[in-house]
């Protein structure tokens, strides 16, 4: 076994699994800890107007509030409630989509301070448009909840806790829950992560990204020079596409509008692949594998659809 292969296993498998395992353990503990202390309804107060409007439950509201701090903890709370029968399958999907706005704000500082220095006002447009897409998704999700969920779900008054639980007792119960569920989490997460590591090592994701970047005939409406931004966005990293955009904008090859459109298209094409590569493995550690695949698929389709609508509106109105 070569040193290069060992290095790849360490950096591409052992360290990511350890990091995700740590975050999942923290998420499992915090979600259970909050439940044991009966804090779910208190956290849900932060999103009360949207919860009432969308006929959503306090668990969904608490998950929405937690998602501003940790997506893992928010998803773990939803999974716990679903497993215990306190959350319907329909509301689980709606709640997962509902958390798109907190996810946007989690990544906002990184995106903002990468885009604005490189493409100036174009960066403000890009950040603003992606925010509008997240806001549009939240609006549609709340409307879907109002149509698909019973009104009593979001209106019911919180039940009184059966007992007062102290911090130490809540922590003990949470650790017990973590031990019992941690084994099941690893049983599903490890095989999936190993499989995705092998896919990545043998170039499956690279081939898929190259196919999208080079066979995208439907991008003929873009300025040919902006296709390089899309290709870098898909095949490399967001920062690589931004660097190319900044250079083309600086020498006058592209206008700010063309740069923003290229970045939005790159966002649409690249995010689903990265979601499958990075999001799906940890979702399988939280949810049952089949359910995890469906949640990621629905989430990405909804997100991409909203970004497409915003991109079309920007293209037609500018």
Digitized pLDDT (tens) for each residue of the chain, 318 residues in all: 566 767 777 776 777 777 767 766 776 677 667 666 656 556 556 678 888 899 999 889 888 888 887 788 888 889 989 988 989 999 999 999 999 888 888 778 778 877 877 787 888 899 999 999 999 999 999 999 999 999 854 444 444 444 555 666 667 766 776 666 666 666 666 776 677 677 767 776 566 556 655 666 566 666 666 676 777 666 666 766 777 777 777 767 778 888 888 888 888 887 777 777 778 877 887 888 899 999 999 998 999 999 999 999 998 887
Distance CA 244, CA 232 (A): 8
Q: What are phi and psi of 295, to 5 degrees?
A: -65, -45
The answer to whether the beta carbons of residues 50 and 82 sit under 8 Å apart is: no
Q: Return the pLDDT at 183.
A: 67
Q: Find, among 122, 280, 274, the residue nearest to 209 by Cα.
A: 274
> Which residues fall within 8 angstroms of residue 68, CB to CB, at 6 or more apart?
102, 105, 106
Q: Return the pLDDT at 160.
A: 43
Q: Return the pLDDT at 156.
A: 42
- pTM metric for this prediction: 0.72
The answer to whether the beta carbons of residues 22 and 112 sit under 8 Å apart is: no
The answer to whether the beta carbons of residues 17 and 23 sit under 8 Å apart is: no
The answer to whether the beta carbons of residues 90 and 120 sit under 8 Å apart is: no
Distance CA 182, CA 28 (A): 8
The runs of H, that is alpha helices, within 149-288 are: 151-155, 167-201, 204-214, 227-235, 238-250, 256-274, 280-286
Q: Return the pLDDT at 232.
A: 67
CA distances 218 to 129, 133, 176, 212, 213, Å, are: 21, 21, 53, 10, 11
């Amino acid at each position: 076994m070569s040193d290069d292969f060992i290095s790849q296993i360490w950096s591409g498998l052992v360290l990511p699994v350890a990091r995700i395992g740590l975050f999942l353990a923290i998420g499992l503990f915090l979600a259970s800890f909050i439940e044991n202390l009966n804090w779910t309804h208190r956290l849900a107060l932060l999103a009360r107007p949207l919860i009432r409007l969308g006929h959503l439950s306090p668990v969904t509201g608490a998950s929405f509030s937690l998602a501003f701090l940790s997506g893992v903890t928010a998803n773990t709370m939803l999974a716990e409630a679903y497993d215990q029968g306190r959350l319907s399958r329909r509301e689980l999907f709606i709640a997962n989509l509902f958390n798109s706005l907190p996810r946007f704000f989690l990544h906002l500082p990184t995106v903002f301070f990468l885009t604005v220095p490189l493409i100036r006002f174009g960066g403000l447009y890009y950040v603003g448009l992606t925010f509008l897409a997240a806001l549009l998704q939240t609006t549609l999700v709340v409307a879907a909840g109002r149509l698909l969920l019973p009104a009593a779900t979001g209106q019911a008054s919180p039940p009184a806790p059966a007992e007062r639980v102290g911090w130490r007792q809540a922590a003990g119960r949470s650790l017990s829950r973590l031990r019992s569920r941690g084994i099941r989490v690893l049983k599903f997460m490890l095989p999936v992560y190993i499989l995705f590591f092998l896919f990545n090592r043998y170039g499956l994701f690279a081939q898929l990204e190259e196919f999208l970047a080079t066979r995208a005939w439907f991008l003929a409406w873009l300025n040919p020079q902006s296709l390089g931004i899309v290709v870098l966005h898909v095949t490399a990293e967001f920062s690589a596409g931004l660097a190319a955009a900044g250079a083309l904008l600086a020498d006058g090859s592209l206008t700010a509008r063309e740069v923003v459109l290229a970045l939005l298209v790159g966002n649409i094409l690249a995010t689903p692949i990265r979601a499958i590569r990075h999001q799906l493995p940890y979702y399988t550690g939280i949810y049952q594998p089949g359910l995890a695949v469906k949640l990621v698929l629905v989430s990405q389709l909804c997100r991409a659809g909203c970004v497409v609508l915003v991109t079309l509106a920007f293209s037609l109105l500018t």
